[in-house]
Structure 1
C-alpha cells in the first residue's frame, strides 16, 4: 500500500545560480528525477502527484519545478533553455553527482533526452511520456500545440478548457477543480509573460525560424547518441504529440523500447495511471539493462 504524500510535506527549495529552485522529495533509494511538461498552469507536482507515492516506495524521488512556470524563481531566459540548464544545476546543488534515472513528461522528456545526449554520465535510465521525436505523418504542430498558442495569445478560460480537452482522451478528466487550479497559475502575469517567450504565435514562429537559420543540429537528429536504456511511453490518442512521433526515437535510440497505451491522450501517467506505473516500474527495476 502506497504512503500518503502531500504537497506541503514533500516541498523543498534550494538556492542556485538560477535563483531558488523548488522541488518535491519523497522516498529513499537510488535517485529518480521527474521532469514536468509545459502548458498553462503546469507544475511538477500536478504532473506527478498521482504516481509519486508508488515510485517513492523504490526511489528517492525528486520532482523538479522548472524556472519560469510559477513555482521556482522565474528567470529571464527562454523556458526550454532554462529548463535544460536547471537539471545539472539542481543535481549539483543537492549533491547528486552520479547518474540518475529520469522521467520526463512532454517538454520534460525533451529536456531529459537532451541531457542524455550531451551529458550521458548524468542519466542511468530514461523514461519519456510523449513529446520527443518529430512528426512523421501527422501535421506539425499538433492540435494541442496550436491550442496552446491560441491560449497564450488570448488567455481566456474557454481557451484553457479547449486546450485541456486536447490533452486527454476521456473528457471527464477535465474537472472544474482541474480547470480552476490551472487557470489561477496560468493567468499569473509573470508566468504568462514567460510562457509568451515560448508559446505565443509570434515567439513560436520566431524561435522556429531562428532554429532553422542557426544551422544547429536539432536534438531529434541526435537521438542515436543516447546510450541510456530508454522506455518511450505514449498515449495512442495523443493530440499534442501524435504517436507517429515515436517512430524516430524508437528506431534511433539504440536501446529503446516503446509502450503505447490505448484510450489515452497526452497525460499517460494520469489517464493510464495503473498500467503506466506498472510498466515504468518494471523497466526501472529491471536489472539486465545496467
Structure 2
C-alpha cells in the first residue's frame, strides 16, 4: 500500500467563498466518508485523522475537510465556527455527493450533528468523537477550554503544553515533536487571530448570551430530528468535553449507540486508536 502523506492526499476545491482544501484517500468509487476536524491551536484535518486514514481508506473514499479559518483552507469573513457549517454543504455539492457517511471530532462533531439535523437525507451513518451535547453535571466551559483560552490570550509554549496535556489521559503522548508542530502553526499571526475570535476571554460567554437571545432553538434541542444511524464515541477521561455531555444525545437521538473508551481523553481517535477504529469500522460497515 502506498504511504499516505500530507502532500499526496492534499486536494483543492475552488468555491465562490474561496478555496476549500481537503485530504482524499481510498478508492474513488468506494462509499464516501467525510471527516470533520475539531478546533484549537494548530489543529487541522490532517493532524486529527492522519493516523486513521490508512485503515478507513481501505473501505471508503475518505475526504478530510479543512475548515475555513484554521490556516489551511481560505479564511472567510465569518467566525470560523460559523463558517464551518456552510462549508460542509458547499463541499458536498461541489463534489457531487448526495449522501455520505460522516465522522466529526469535537467541534467537527457538532458541525456534523447540525448537518444531520438540517439535511438528514444526506447522511447515511454519523459518528461523533466527544464534544456533542451539553454539560449536565460538569461546569461549562470545561477545564481544557479554559486552558485553551489562557493560551490564546498569552500564547507561550508553557500554556500550549498545559492545554495539550489536558487533551489526553496519557501525557507521554505530548511529545516535543507534537509541541513544536502545534506551536509553529498556532503562533502564525493569521491562525492566532482566528483562535482569538473563537476562544478569546469572554468570547464563549458572549456567544452563550447570543444563543440565549436567538429565536432558533439550540442544536441539542433538535437531536430528535436526526434520522441517520449514529455512533457517539467518547473518552471517559475527557477534560475538554466531559463525558456527561453525552447523556442528552444518548436519550434523544432515535437510532444511537454509545461507546465510551477508558483511560482516554479528548483525542479518542489518537489515544485509543486501535479500539476506536475497530468500533467505528464495525459500525460503518455493518449491514443493518
Taking structure 1 as the reference length, the TM-score comes to 0.97
Matching of residues 151-190 of structure 1 within 5 Å: 151-190=151-190
Matching of residues 31-110 of structure 1 within 5 Å: 31-96=32-97, 98-110=98-110
In structure 1, the gaps of 5 or more residues are none
Q: How many residues align?
A: 286
Q: Is the 8 A contact 1:74 1:191 kept in 2?
A: no
The two structures, once aligned, show a CA RMSD in angstroms of 0.9
Matching of residues 111-190 of structure 1 within 5 Å: 111-190=111-190
Supply the distance in 2 between the matched residues of 1:51 and 1:20 (Cα, whole angstroms).
25
Supply the distance in 1 between the matched residues of 2:206 and 2:138 (Cα, whole angstroms).
22
SS of residue in 2 equivalent to 1:90: helix
| Displacement of 1:3 | 4.9
SS of residue in 2 equivalent to 1:20: strand
| Displacement of 1:166 | 0.4
Supply the distance in 1 between the matched residues of 2:51 and 2:80 (Cα, whole angstroms).
25
Supply the distance in 2 between the matched residues of 1:7 and 1:70 (Cα, whole angstroms).
15
In structure 2, the gaps of 5 or more residues are none
Moved over 3 A (4+): none
Taking structure 2 as the reference length, the TM-score comes to 0.97
Supply the distance in 1 between the matched residues of 2:198 and 2:183 (Cα, whole angstroms).
18
Supply the distance in 1 between the matched residues of 2:202 and 2:246 (Cα, whole angstroms).
28
Q: Write out per-residue CA displacement over residues 55-89 of structure 1, whole angstroms, 9 at most, x where no aligned residue.
A: 00000000000000000001121111100010010
Supply the distance in 1 between the matched residues of 2:154 and 2:270 (Cα, whole angstroms).
27
SS of residue in 2 equivalent to 1:201: coil
